[in-house]
Amino acid sequence: MHVAPVLRSEALKVLTLRSLYGTLLAVFACTTAFSALAGVSDTSDPDFDPLFMALSGAVPGQIAAIAFGATVVSCEYQGNGIRLSLAAVPRRGRWFAAKLVAVAVPALVVGLLAAFAALVAARAGLGPAADGLTTGEQTRGVLGCGIYFMLMALLAAGLTVLFRSGVATLSTLIPFILVVSFVVGDVAGGATDFLPDKAGQVVLYQTHDGTLGPWAGLAVTALWAAAALLAGAWRLRGRDA
């Protein structure tokens, strides 16, 4: 089967599953709502960063992005649907690539829309406190947020192929992000700067004093996602459906 029909079939799977609409809606709703709430918070903190405050909804929003990436792939392992998919597309690499496109494109588009809506909503609440943000910084934040959501969804997709289970992915990845980054991070120090979520979220800050810059941080997150996808591809190639 040629590439175009495979891409079309994987896109149709995403468009016909209501649960995937729900996770994408959750990405938009969580990111926008939490950023809007942050926009009316206290701005007198000396460490106040207006860009991160405006895009802080990306922190809960990433959970929905992870759920989206895991769900797109895990639906293949329900009822042995993977057997039908690979029977139709015997070249597993082609099928896997099409599946990743079906994850990456919606996650990126919805992520960009959510980041833009979050920025607009939060700025309305922040008022003069956000006047120092330049157009370039806001553009970088919105674009970086969309890319970050896409990378986290791809990370989840790769792990789901590796584990062959969406539940295993969510029960591993979400506690890892919530516990390691927010609890262990205070103890481990600078080592956590290279975790996938911490590194990628640098792009959401106006200024950051850590080891990584905005785009270098996203590159680190991309390496994590690439490692998960390579592990998933290895598992897919080495195991019969």
Q: Is the model more confident about 34 or about 241? A: 34
Minimum mean pLDDT range among 30-39, 82-91, 216-225: 82-91
The pLDDT assigned to 17 comes to: 80
Number of domain units in the chain: 1
Domain that holds residue 142: 3-234
The pLDDT assigned to 8 comes to: 84
Does residue 189 have a pLDDT over 70?
Answer: no
Amino acid letter, residue 208: H
**If DSSP codes are grouped into helix, strand and coil, which group holds residue 48?**
coil
The pLDDT assigned to 185 comes to: 62
Cα separations in angstroms, 8 against 3, 23, 73, 105, 232: 9, 21, 16, 13, 22
Does residue 172 have a pLDDT over 60?
Answer: yes
The pLDDT assigned to 137 comes to: 92
At 44-76, the pLDDT tens digits run 565 788 899 999 999 999 999 999 999 999 988
The mean pLDDT of 91-118, rounded to a whole number, is: 93
Residue 179 lies in a domain: yes
The pLDDT assigned to 132 comes to: 83
Does residue 160 have a pLDDT over 90?
Answer: yes
The pTM score is: 0.92
The pLDDT assigned to 125 comes to: 84
Does residue 217 have a pLDDT over 70?
Answer: yes
- Contact between 32 and 121 under an 8 Å Cβ cutoff? The reply is yes
Residue 229 lies in a domain: yes
- Give CA–CA dist 63/151, Å, rounded: 12
Mean pLDDT, the chain, integer: 87
Does residue 184 have a pLDDT over 80?
Answer: no
The mean pLDDT of 189-199, rounded to a whole number, is: 82
Residue 196 lies in a domain: yes
- Give CA–CA dist 137/128, Å, rounded: 16
Residue 104 lies in a domain: yes
The pLDDT assigned to 14 comes to: 81
Residue 45 lies in a domain: yes
The pLDDT assigned to 7 comes to: 82
Banded pLDDT at 42 (limits 50, 70, 90): low
Residue 239 lies in a domain: no
Residue 179 burial (10 A CB sphere; 0-12, 13-18, 19+): exposed
- Give CA–CA dist 25/217, Å, rounded: 26
Residue 72 lies in a domain: yes
Residue 128 lies in a domain: yes
Helices (H) and strands (E) counted in the chain, each on its own, are: 11, 0
At 107-146, the pLDDT tens digits run 999 999 999 999 999 988 888 877 888 999 999 999 999 9
